[in-house]
């Protein structure tokens, strides 16, 4: 079950919301959310439920032991980190490790087929966040296992984030309220995410599938760049759309999650890009890896090494494949380059034209690396993009795709900028009658968007979430 599915929109969510509303007691509401979350996960991953629950119980127990035996809390922290990473490595990276070793030494080892539980990267990182926060003394060890269970398994952010750190949400578990304004803004945010996912991400994703499945040997430079652009739009609207839906759902149940995206494609540097892209992951790595490694406190060389380690882990977190690792190191390389002095050059760009073009170039080429797992395909595609290897600037395929998809591509480019916020702010006149008219217009637009989304879901079978593989 996914947020952009008919069974979720018309059955699961309304049922849970109604039962939740009926109960006024916070304990009862938490129990309802726990039951709903376990059912939600079991709907798609019935066997993996036991794994998730086992992870929760282990981390809950280790945090209690840490609190009780303060002189041994490093031991319990180490056990927690080892167990969590062991689960992640086994399910996500075993095949990758064996395959990599076999490619180097030609051992002809049979690569085991291990099913990857959906969302394991997300709930594992949240479990680690809880234990580390307790170790640091940022929060007390939670005595109620139900609270830890709700924190890790809460269905809005369970399978594709955003990654919620325990210290950001701890107080909300037992103390939260829902106002009409909060609930309505949650519904609005959910619908916005649904539009982004269904109407934009799915459509530009279909264009990328068309381009990526074509014969690269005859591809034009323009088509290659168009493919890279639509994939960049797809992954942004796919993931930011899911995050919007998760944040909206959380708000509908009284929770406030931190933002996960802030218009990353308007960034003027790669460092700024990672302050705007997948914010929950970048801050997680900053708090729990970069700073413990020493951050920027131990000299320039150590800072650069720390950055490369973090981006290596970022790439590996995104996928058990070498192209994901290279994608992470690609961003790490430019982050180091900017720290070496290029960042000052970008800061002097008063028009911001060069800095924005540079950032988009790095990001789009990076997502091309991320998208193409096969290295032969990647090499061919990149040489066409950057060097026009086929000596064909524009082909008929490019013209055909543009003619049939120009509206959705332009819409994607436009909506990936803060134009929506700018328009809504401009339409506030501090006049009750005028503002009321515009509110009605926006309600109508949201209803129309919702009906279009539902119509698309009914008529189309293409509805993947890219981040489910993590």
Q: State the catalytic residues.
A: 318
The alpha carbon torsion through 203, 208, 211, 216 (nearest 10 deg) reads: 180
* Token pair of 81 as six digits: 């980190």
| Preceding omega of 146 cis (within 30 degrees of 0) | no
Cα(328)–Cα(288) distance, integer angstroms: 18
Q: Are 34 and 153 in contact (CB under 8 A)?
A: yes
Residue with tokens 């380690």: 309
Q: Are 205 and 345 in contact (CB under 8 A)?
A: no
| Angle at the Cα of 293 from the Cα atoms of 89 and 73, rounded to 5 degrees | 70
Residue with tokens 């990758």: 96
Sign of dihedral through CA atoms 235, 239, 241, 242?
A: positive
Cα(190)–Cα(8) distance, integer angstroms: 12
- Tell me how far CA of residue 318 lies from CA of 23, 34, 79, 304, 397, in angstroms: 39, 27, 24, 21, 31
As a residue count, the chain comes to 470
Cα(126)–Cα(165) distance, integer angstroms: 6
Q: Name the burial class of residue 370, with classes exposed (0-12), middle (13-18) and buried (19+) by CB atoms within 10 angstroms of its CB.
A: buried
Cα(6)–Cα(12) distance, integer angstroms: 9
* Token pair of 458 as six digits: 């009914």
Q: Are 356 and 347 in contact (CB under 8 A)?
A: no
Cα(152)–Cα(163) distance, integer angstroms: 10
Q: At what angle do helices 300-318 and 322-337 cross, to 10 degrees?
A: 150
Cα(290)–Cα(310) distance, integer angstroms: 6
Q: Are 341 and 117 in contact (CB under 8 A)?
A: no
């Amino acid at each position: 079950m996914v947020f952009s599915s008919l069974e979720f929109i018309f059955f699961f969510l309304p049922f849970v919301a109604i039962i939740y509303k009926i109960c006024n007691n916070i304990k009862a509401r938490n129990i309802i959310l726990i039951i709903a979350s376990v059912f939600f996960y079991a709907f798609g991953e019935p066997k993996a439920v036991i794994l998730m629950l086992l992870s929760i119980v282990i981390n809950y127990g280790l945090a209690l032991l840490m609190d009780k035996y303060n002189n041994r809390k490093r031991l319990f922290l180490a056990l927690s980190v080892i167990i969590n990473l062991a689960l992640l490595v086994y399910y996500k990276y075993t095949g990758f490790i064996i395959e990599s070793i076999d490619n180097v030494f030609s051992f002809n080892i049979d690569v085991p087929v291990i099913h990857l539980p959906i969302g394991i990267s997300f709930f594992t990182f949240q479990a680690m966040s809880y234990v580390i926060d307790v170790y640091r003394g940022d929060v007390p060890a939670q005595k109620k296992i139900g609270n830890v269970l709700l924190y890790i398994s809460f269905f809005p952010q369970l399978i594709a984030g955003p990654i919620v750190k325990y210290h950001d949400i701890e107080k909300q578990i037992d103390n939260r309220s829902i106002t009409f304004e909060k609930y309505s803004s949650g519904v609005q945010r959910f619908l916005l995410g649904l539009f982004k996912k269904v109407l934009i991400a799915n459509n530009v994703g279909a264009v990328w599938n068309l381009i990526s499945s074509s014969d690269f040997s005859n591809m034009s430079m323009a088509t290659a760049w168009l493919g890279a652009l639509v994939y960049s739009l797809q992954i942004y609207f796919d993931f930011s759309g899911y995050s919007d839906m998760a944040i909206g759902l959380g708000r509908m149940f009284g929770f406030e999650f931190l933002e996960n995206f802030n218009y990353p494609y308007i960034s003027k540097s790669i460092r700024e890009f990672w302050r705007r892209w997948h914010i929950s992951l970048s801050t997680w790595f900053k708090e729990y890896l970069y700073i413990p490694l020493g951050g920027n406190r131990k000299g320039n060389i150590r800072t650069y090494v720390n950055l490369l380690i973090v981006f290596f882990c970022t790439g590996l977190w995104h996928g058990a494949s070498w192209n994901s690792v290279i994608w992470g190191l690609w961003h790490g390389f430019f982050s180091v380059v900017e720290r070496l002095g290029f960042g000052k050059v970008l800061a002097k760009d008063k028009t911001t034209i060069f800095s924005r073009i540079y950032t988009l170039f790095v990001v789009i080429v990076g997502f091309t690396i991320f998208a193409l797992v096969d290295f032969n395909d990647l090499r061919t595609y990149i040489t066409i993009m950057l060097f026009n290897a086929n000596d064909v600037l524009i082909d008929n395929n490019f013209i055909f795709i543009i003619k049939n998809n120009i509206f959705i591509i332009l819409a994607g480019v436009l909506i990936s900028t803060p134009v929506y916020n700018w328009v809504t702010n401009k339409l506030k006149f501090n006049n009750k009658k005028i503002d009321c008219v515009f509110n009605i217009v926006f309600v109508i637009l949201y209803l129309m968007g919702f009906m279009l989304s539902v119509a698309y879901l009914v008529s189309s079978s293409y509805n993947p979430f890219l981040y489910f593989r993590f």
